[in-house]
Structure 1
Amino acid sequence: MPEEGRNVGNIIDDQTRESKEAKQANSFLRRTLENPNLNQYWYSAYTIDVLVKEIEDNASKAAFLSTPSLYFSLNDKQLKDNSYVFDVDPQWQKHPNFVRWDFNDPVNIPECMWHAFDLVLIDPPFITPEVWSKYAEATILLLAPGGKIILSTVQERGELLKQLLKVEPQVFEPSIPKLVYQYTLFANYQSRHLSLHNPEIYQH
């Protein structure tokens, strides 16, 4: 086998091993099943790791809209204590940092949380313009002046999201193992971690 072939094989093996190790290390993925009735599809362990690094580098208080896999994977205890997960899934309702939130009533958010977060993470269960408009309403209400946004959806929603939230597509594409189509990450700022390719995603 040529040297180039061995190198590519070694890289793929390393990435596969790292992905398996990350999944074993991620307690959220180990213990939390996706609920198809809520259209839940978790990011891969490696994608979660990259996003958590990005969050912990940029936030002191974050709002996680329909992104429980990210909130519950935070390593920074102070950030986790300061942040909140906004979701409709009742399995987390006893957690002190859980806020029951339904996108059909997007501004039903405690007033003490208005404009209180320096980063908002968003991954809606649906990708229609109507749903995104509701998530944008909530995001604008939650975000502090100058705050940052990271979201994931299909690339085709890029123009709409640029209008709603002034976000731009990022190089890093998230791996969502049980989702049949590829998502794109968007952000409203220049990101270090999201400017790199995800080795889990095949580059055409």
Structure 2
Amino acid sequence: MSTHVEEDERAKPAAVDGDEDDDTPALSAQALAALREFLSEQGSGGGGEDSEEVKLVAEDWRLSQFWYDKETAETVAEEILRLCKSSTSAPCTVACIACPTLYVYLKRISPDISAQLLEYDKRFEQYGDDFMFYDYNQPEELPLALKHTCQVVVADPPYLSKECLEKVAQTISFLANPQSSFLLLLTGEMQKERALKLLNAHPCGFRPQHSNKLGNEFRLFTNYNPAERLGGWETIE
């Protein structure tokens, strides 16, 4: 995931719209082939496929990128798949906002899942039609075909700031199905009051971890009660 620790001063260009097709985005043959090729290249680490840690492109610290570790990515990906199975809408569509690690683990576990990766780093164009260039400074500069179509939205706001979370919240509102949608928000502990106010998202007991340890403590917030999963909801004092 892109988990940017602090604001930098680079000026981001406005987001560029993707193809505005009438149909809800689905995994294309090109994207699936690219993903399978990418995952096959990870096989040099030894062990079975299920035991291997998926490795993304190198973290670009100029973009404040820090990828989640294997346990975190697998735990959250499994929860997303569980939510999709319980969704009353078919097919279930997932939006991954600035969290490429989760996108890759989702596709690894369930290659046919309909998932869209919204990401600023164009190196992830390798995922074909599943990739969409996303600049949080332009929170609703997205194809109308995606509006209110996602049953599950998982987001890792690029920066730990009030402004960034507010703008990502606009994107979440644009994408989420207003009748039935689940939100998983991965961000810093410092954002818990804002997460509740902006997104009605509560902190869970499960603590996300990164491959490279960060000084900021990260939390997983959800807008639904996971019950016994993800360590359950914690009460905000």
| Among candidates 209, 224, 228, match of residue 175 of structure 1 | 209
Q: Which residue of 2 aligns with 1:193?
A: 229
Matches within 5 A, 1:1-204: 25-27=52-54, 29=55, 31-59=56-84, 60-74=92-106, 75-79=109-113, 82-94=114-126, 95-145=128-178, 146-178=180-212, 179-191=214-226, 192-195=228-231
Evaluate the alpha carbon distance shift between residue 123 and residue 23 of structure 1 in structure 2; reply closer, same or farther with a 3 A threshold. Answer: farther
Q: How far 1:22 sits from its partner (Å)?
A: 9.1
Matched position secondary structure for 1:96 = helix
User: Residues 63 and 86 of structure 1 are in contact (CA less than 8 Å); yes or no, is this contact kept in structure 2?
Assistant: yes
Gaps of 5+ in 2: 1-46, 85-91, 233-237
Partners of 1:177 and 1:98 in 2: how far apart?
23
Matched position secondary structure for 1:78 = coil
Task: Give the TM-score, by structure 2 length.
Answer: 0.69
Matched position secondary structure for 2:177 = strand
Task: Give the TM-score, by structure 1 length.
Answer: 0.79
Segment drifting more, 49-58 vs 91-100: 91-100
Q: How far 1:162 sits from its partner (Å)?
A: 0.8
Partners of 1:70 and 1:23 in 2: how far apart?
15
Identity between Structure 1 and Structure 2 (%): 25
Partners of 1:182 and 1:22 in 2: how far apart?
30
Q: Deviations over 1:150-175 (max 9, x none)?
A: 01112221111111111000000001
Matched position secondary structure for 1:77 = coil
Q: How far 1:193 sits from its partner (Å)?
A: 3.1
Q: Deviations over 1:17-60 (max 9, x none)?
A: xxx99996133x2x421111111111111111111110111122
Matched position secondary structure for 1:184 = strand
Partners of 2:71 and 2:48 in 1: how far apart?
9
Partners of 1:134 and 1:92 in 2: how far apart?
22
Q: How far 1:180 sits from its partner (Å)?
A: 2.0
Structure 1 segments of 4+ aligned residues over 3 angstroms from their partners:
20-24
Number of corresponding residues? 174
Larger RCO (alpha carbons 8 Å, 6+ apart): 2
Task: Letter of the 2:104 partner, please give it.
Answer: F
Q: Deviations over 1:61-101 (max 9, x none)?
A: 1000000000011111221xx11000010112242200111
User: Residues 44 and 176 of structure 1 are in contact (CA less than 8 Å); yes or no, is this contact kept in structure 2?
Assistant: yes
Partners of 1:142 and 1:162 in 2: how far apart?
19
Partners of 2:124 and 2:187 in 1: how far apart?
24
Higher helix share: 1
